């Protein structure tokens, strides 16, 4: 465990947080995030240990400390609710940062390339591009990461560890977000996120966000090397890999086809194995990918009444 570093807060430290006039002298040496109090830094560092012992009884999310769990419960009480899009947050600080998405405010500027960011953490991660810094290295395959949390998640590729188990079936997942996505897509037809432009309903907030870009024309993901912008993060990753050799190709060991994402390779391998894990609820036909299953389900007339992209 790395120890915290305390330095004297000068004017540069304060101006990095223009919405908070409180000095932040405590630095997390893992993710470069600054804190005003030593206790806040100590609590934050538990994020990097990977231990999440405190569970929410309403959504099954798990947290490193009881403090973060209590803060999270504000999401369910709608205490901090965005009046623009209806999304709820755990703290006033989080909703303040979120509102910058609607206002377009980006107070944190890179001193090297002048690119601007909504959060100081985003700027800190971006700065590693210029420093070519990836201090966290996998001991198995030598792949390097800018943050320890990403290394922890990556290590599960080698260990096969899947600590997140679905409470509705026996399937387990290496990441909590993957388990939550599985429950929404496989076990629930509930759609709670509505587009303010056209009224369409979606299961996932991130799918709604991508859909909204079709109305606004926004391309929030920009390349750090050139002026290209994209509506989806995976499009940016593919661009970085293809045009700037930034990233890793995932190669099929059977046909040598290359993919920019490990998830795409996994779906591709299902075709070689003739595995079809996605089953239509209407006619029991099975498919290799979830996209193929959903496209098929649109053929069922009753399904069209509620199924929306």
Cα-Cα end-to-end distance for the chain: 44
221 within some domain? yes
pTM here is 0.37
147 within some domain? no
pLDDT surpasses 70 at 84: yes
19 within some domain? no
240 within some domain? yes
Tell me what pLDDT residue 32 has: 67
Residue-wise pLDDT for 249-284, tens only, equals 788 888 888 887 777 788 788 788 777 777 776 677
Q: What is the mean pLDDT of the chain?
A: 75
pLDDT surpasses 70 at 305: no
The share of the chain scoring above pLDDT 90, in percent, equals 0
Tell me what pLDDT residue 300 has: 64
Residue-wise pLDDT for 177-204, tens only, equals 788 778 877 787 777 788 888 988 887 7
Instruction: Report which of 168, 148, 157 is spatially closest to residue 248, judged by C-alpha positions.
Output: 157
d(CA 265, CA 10): 48
pLDDT surpasses 60 at 24: yes
Tell me what pLDDT residue 46 has: 67
Residue-wise pLDDT for 105-130, tens only, equals 888 888 888 888 888 888 887 887 77
The share of the chain scoring above pLDDT 70, in percent, equals 84
178 within some domain? no
pLDDT surpasses 60 at 159: yes
pLDDT band at 16 (very low <50, low <70, confident <90, very high): very low
Q: Which domain holds residue 198?
A: 192-247
pLDDT band at 29 (very low <50, low <70, confident <90, very high): confident
* Domain count of the fold of the chain: 1
201 within some domain? yes
Residues contacting residue 2 through CB under 8 Å, at least 6 positions apart: 29, 30
d(CA 108, CA 116): 5
For residues 166-176, give the mean pLDDT: 82
Tell me what pLDDT residue 11 has: 29
Tell me what pLDDT residue 231 has: 82
The lowest-confidence range among 49-58, 147-156, 184-193, 202-211 is: 49-58
Beta-bridge partner residues of 137 = 144
Q: Which has the higher per-residue pLDDT, 12 or 154?
A: 154
Most confident of 1-15, 52-66, 251-265, 288-302: 251-265
pLDDT surpasses 60 at 308: no
The CATH number of the domain holding residue 209 is 3.30.160.60
- What is the pairing mode between strands 26-27 and 5-6? antiparallel
pLDDT surpasses 70 at 15: no
């Amino acid at each position: 465990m790395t120890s915290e570093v305390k330095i004297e807060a000068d004017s540069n430290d304060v101006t990095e947080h223009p919405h908070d006039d409180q000095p932040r002298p405590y630095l997390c040496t893992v993710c470069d995030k600054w804190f005003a109090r030593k206790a806040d830094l100590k609590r934050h560092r538990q994020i990097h240990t990977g231990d999440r012992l405190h569970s929410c009884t309403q959504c099954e999310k798990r947290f490193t400390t009881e403090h973060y769990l209590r803060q999270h419960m504000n999401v369910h009480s709608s205490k901090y609710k965005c009046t623009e899009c209806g999304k709820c947050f755990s703290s006033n600080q989080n909703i303040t940062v979120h509102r910058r998405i609607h206002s377009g405010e980006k107070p944190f500027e890179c001193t090297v390339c002048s690119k601007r960011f909504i959060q100081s953490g985003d700027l800190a991660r971006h700065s590693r591009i210029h420093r070519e810094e990836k201090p966290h290295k996998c001991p198995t395959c030598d792949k390097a990461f800018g943050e320890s949390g990403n290394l922890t998640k990556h290590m599960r590729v080698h260990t096969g560890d899947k600590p997140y188990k679905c409470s509705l079936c026996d399937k387990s997942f290496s990441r909590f977000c993957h388990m939550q996505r599985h429950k929404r897509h496989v076990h629930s037809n509930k759609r709670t996120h509505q587009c303010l432009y056209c009224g369409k309903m979606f299961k996932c907030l991130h799918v709604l966000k991508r859909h909204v870009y079709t109305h606004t024309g926004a391309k929030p993901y920009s390349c750090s090397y050139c002026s290209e912008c994209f509506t989806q993060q995976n499009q940016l990753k593919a661009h970085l890999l293809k045009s700037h050799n930034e990233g890793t190709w995932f190669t099929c060991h059977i046909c040598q086809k290359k993919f920019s994402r490990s998830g795409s390779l996994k779906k591709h391998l299902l075709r070689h194995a003739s595995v079809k894990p996605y089953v239509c609820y209407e006619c029991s036909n099975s498919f290799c990918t979830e996209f193929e299953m959903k496209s098929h389900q649109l053929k069922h007339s009753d399904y069209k009444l509620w199924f929306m992209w």
